[in-house]
Amino acid sequence: MRLQLNKIPVAILGISLMFTAACKKDLAPVPQASNNASSKLGTNAIGVAGPKSVCYVEVNNNDIRNVGNYTLSTGEQLFDIGIIFAANINYNTTTQKAELFFNPQVTNVLSNAATYIQPLQAKGIKVMLSILGNHQGAGICNFPTQAAAQDFAQLLSNAVTTYGLDGIDFDDEYADYGNNGTGQPNASSFVYLVTALRQLMPTKLISFYFYGPASTRLSFNGVTVGSKVDYSWNAIYGTYSVPNVPGLAASNLGPAAIDIQSTSSSTATSLATQTVNNGYGIYLCYNLPNTDVHTYLSGFSNALYGKATIYTGTAPATGVTFYQNSNYGGTVTSAIPKGNYTLAQLQAYGFVDNWASSVKIPTGWTVTMYSSNNFTGTSWVRTANTANFTTLFPSANDVVTSVKIQ
């Protein structure tokens, strides 16, 4: 179970037409399919025998590219699948339909696929987008009709095509079913959704984070969710529990789940050992940080593959980072070390005059922001991350020009 942060709609960001302009495909009714797990994708990790390592990244706070910064000691990538966490299912009370929404951080990743997504894919890593509710009553389990489920599947398929993604991950959290007059979970909704999406994306990945009402609504009219999705994994970090998804073989299931920032190294290693010993094909990680954690990752990579993990990236510089948008969205500056900075000096770090709307500050540091150049005009003193400059008095939004960092 993950923290879900405030989201804003795709429509507000001006890119909703990329979803609605595509022609819908006519989808056939749900077929009477068999549960043929043997047709699922192979599950060996990239270039090495063993379970696939899957990693969710909270892109509100961390860089998805970190997934590609870790290799095994013999050169293979540690992570096979990186998942962007997360897009939302919002509810339009006027049209009474579910809509696909992105917040600024997710939008930044998707809109700059050449920077954030394609480099991972060039290393053989699959990049998926996780989808979950947003407290508005809409979720993967309460589409009122098959047509409604098909409509949302089309939005997801369009997103995968538009941004060059490798698939969709479903997470039945934070829907708050019943809000805004929406229905409660029903038996057919999730089956209809994954059936439609599989028809639209026959060669792409579909996974299910085994949690919420959807975890008990995996079969309808003779069709199982497991016959349509590629993988499912346990959702409770620090535990080992086999997802009960009919239609998926052990090689497509992940009973072990860890939070890299809170699960102990000994537990992560133990869970990896159980995964291998019991013949399961997925090992799930969550919350990969921007810092170098290769020592921690080596604990479970040794258990999964008999190989240590090496960090191949550049350790992030310590410093203050300013963001173009509130909630740490939009373009971000390089890390700015301690010192006094006029506008010209700030510009060397990617800062733009009258542009900043939020800031992240290392623990123990103090930042004094000025509305005019050369440390003049209105000033604001900040000693911690500030997500929205409009909350300051007076508002500091889009007016900062020079800065002192101590």
**Number of structural domains found in the chain:** 2
322, 361 contact by CB (below 8 A): no
Q: Which helix (H) or strand (E) holds 319?
A: none
Which residues are CB-contacts of 100 (< 8 A; sequence separation ≥ 6)? 10, 19, 87, 88, 89, 90, 131, 152, 155, 156, 159
Give pLDDT, residue 320: 94
Same-domain pairing of 223 and 355: no
* Any domain includes 37: yes
CA distance 375 to 321: 18
The DSSP 8-state label assigned to residue 49 in this structure reads S
Q: Rounded to two decimals, what is the model's pTM?
A: 0.76
Residue identified by tokens 């309460």 is 142
345, 374 contact by CB (below 8 A): no
* Any domain includes 218: yes
Q: Residues 58, 76, 99, 173: which is the catalytic one?
A: 173
* Any domain includes 316: no
* Any domain includes 284: yes
Same-domain pairing of 139 and 254: yes
Give pLDDT, residue 349: 87
Low-confidence stretches of the chain (pLDDT < 50) are 4-39
Same-domain pairing of 136 and 184: yes
Q: SS3 of 288, please?
A: coil
Compute how many other C-beta atoms are within 10 angstroms of the C-beta atom of residue 145. Answer: 11
The DSSP 8-state label assigned to residue 226 in this structure reads G
User: Where is the domain boundary, 247, 276, 311?
Assistant: 311
Give pLDDT, residue 1: 57
Cis peptide before 86 (omega within 30 of 0): yes
Give the CATH number of the domain where residue 16 resides. Answer: 3.20.20.80
Give pLDDT, residue 20: 29
User: Where is the domain boundary, 311, 336, 361?
Assistant: 311
Beta bridge partners of 206: 168
Give pLDDT, residue 30: 34
Same-domain pairing of 347 and 368: yes
Same-domain pairing of 306 and 333: no
* Any domain includes 232: yes
Structure tokens that stand for 65 in this block: 């590219």
If phi over 0 gives left and psi between -120 and 50 gives alpha, with beta otherwise, what is residue 334?
beta
Structure tokens that stand for 123 in this block: 């290393």
Q: What is the sign of the dihedral through the CA atoms of 68, 69, 75 and 77?
A: negative
* Any domain includes 1: no
CA distance 336 to 333: 8
Same-domain pairing of 367 and 307: no
Same-domain pairing of 183 and 294: yes
CA distance 99 to 101: 6
Same-domain pairing of 124 and 92: yes
CA distance 191 to 379: 56
Same-domain pairing of 84 and 186: yes
User: Where is the domain boundary, 311, 334, 355?
Assistant: 311
Same-domain pairing of 112 and 24: yes
CA distance 401 to 369: 8
Range(s) of the domain holding residue 401 = 321-405
Q: What is the pLDDT of residues 112-135, one digit of tens each?
A: 899 999 999 999 999 999 999 999
Same-domain pairing of 252 and 127: yes
Give the CATH number of the domain where residue 343 resides. Answer: 2.60.20.10
Same-domain pairing of 292 and 377: no
CA distance 79 to 293: 13
Q: Which amino acid is located at 338 in the chain? A: K
301, 311 contact by CB (below 8 A): no
* Any domain includes 301: yes
* Any domain includes 4: no
Is 173 a catalytic site residue? Answer: yes
Structure tokens that stand for 246 in this block: 């009919």
3-state secondary structure 157-208: HHHHHHHCCCEEEEECCCCCCCHHHCCCCCCCHHHHHHHHHHHHCCCCEEEE
